Amino acid sequence: MAGKAARIAGLRAQDLRAGIAKGALRVEEVAEALIARVAETEPGLSAWAWFDPDFVRSQARALDAHRAAGRPLGALHGLPVGVKDVIDTARIPTENGTVIDAGRIPAEDAFVVSRLKAAGAIVFGKTRTTELAFLAPGPTRNPANPAHTPGGSSSGSAAAVASGQVPLALGTQTAGSVIRPAAFCGTVGFKPSFGAIPRTGVLAQAPSLDTIGVFARSVPDAALLAEVLFGDDPRDASTTPTPPPRLFELASAPPPVAPVFALVQPPGWERAEEETRLALAEVAGLLGEQCFEVALPGAFAEGSAARECIQLAELSKCFYGYERRGRAQLSTEMQGALDRGKAIPARDYIAALDWRRILNAALEEVFARCDAILVPAAPGPAPEGLGTTGDPVFNGLWTLCGTPAVTIPVLEASNGLPMGLQLVGRRGDDGRLLRSARWLMEHLRGDDSGQGDLR
């Protein structure tokens, strides 16, 4: 790539937005720089399920004309955003990672895509997902090392942001599908509180768990994108009318006092690699009195089983149509999940739904003493090989609780691969979590640029 195009491709979303607003950058320049970046990196990455450079250019020209006419600029004016291919886009293929939906073109945009367009964002393309956003890996490679998994199911979104193809992207999480790929690829991944972002027009896998999340190069960038998407939609019963959030303002502002963190060894801790354990201990040591260790109540040991019960039971219902239309075209992982879900007694499923309330009540005592919980984002760096998307053991508990979670790329494994540090906040307190995450990223790295590492 030429010098200026390479510099543009390396900018954070907030810097691109500022340059466009001041007239130092044209949206068409940004679009061309990123189109060139895709051409350079995509053959070895396979982050995109659908990408049309001319479609990107037409949006960019329209946005430049909008600004030239002196019209008001939206919060995301000119910013390219990758959209996971389980999120409906009008007149653009949305194939949900399965051959059963090959050629599917929705008539309407999902709620979040409508919000992107209203805010002036460019729908840059559709990022690859695993099959029906579950476990069977897709063709995407990890930009940090193509011999290692990029994670899943939001693999394309994480890889596209990490490789500089796009500054922002959307994903979804039902167990660990935002946090884990962000950690493996070395980006910021933010899963908001359950119900904060409407899921209308998004593939439903397990509606009691499904959450839309975002990928970015910095915490404020993630907040900027998420703020546009937060809202209420009567078509999604998980949402409620709430005042507009101030996520970007909160994430960008210094905290009134230095935040305090609770270091937790979550259920499944024995699956954490030694390198991960040592890294968490080092972070706690650097934080000193701002970090204390706490043990979660014994009830949390039941969380993983409850989350899996809910996911499989609801998946078997939501994906019944796929099974009926083409079970033989589904992966063995998906066929097994459908069979396990159908075998779950109604009594066990209904009982599992109670665990969110129980566990969040227990977390109140922890959050009374801290701003955020510190836990690993994954057992270690991205595993070698492409036959798995990695272990979501340290993600699913927080998806069940519906608490906001964010991973920041401040750790590096001995093999050079990124490792994410996950922070968890009280449900509904997303802005405070993001502010604490930005503070910690700056504290450990000296900035929030996504450069450097903590060894």
Q: Catalytic residue at 153?
A: yes
Where on the phi/psi map is residue 139: left (φ > 0), alpha (ψ -120 to 50), or beta? alpha
Q: Catalytic residue at 163?
A: no
Where on the phi/psi map is residue 91: left (φ > 0), alpha (ψ -120 to 50), or beta? left
Beta strands in 117-250 (DSSP E): 122-127, 168-173, 188-191, 211-216
How far is residue 33's CA from residue 4's CA, in Å, rounded to a whole number? 8
**Is there a contact between 431 and 244 (Cβ–Cβ < 8 Å)?**
no
Q: Choosing from 177, 208, 304, 316, which is the catalytic residue?
A: 177
How far is residue 338's CA from residue 306's CA, in Å, rounded to a whole number? 17
CB atoms within 10 A of CB 361: 11
Collapsing DSSP to helix, strand or coil, 162 comes out as helix
How far is residue 42's CA from residue 29's CA, in Å, rounded to a whole number? 20
Half-sphere exposure of 14 (CA within 13 A, CB side): 15
Q: Catalytic residue at 4?
A: no
**Is there a contact between 263 and 376 (Cβ–Cβ < 8 Å)?**
no
- Work out the angle at residue 190's Cα, subtended by the Cα atoms of residues 189 and 196, and round it to the nearest 5 degrees: 155
For the chain, counts of helices (H) and of strands (E): 17, 11
Q: Choosing from 117, 126, 153, 218, which is the catalytic residue?
A: 153
User: Which residues are marked as active site?
Assistant: 84, 153, 177
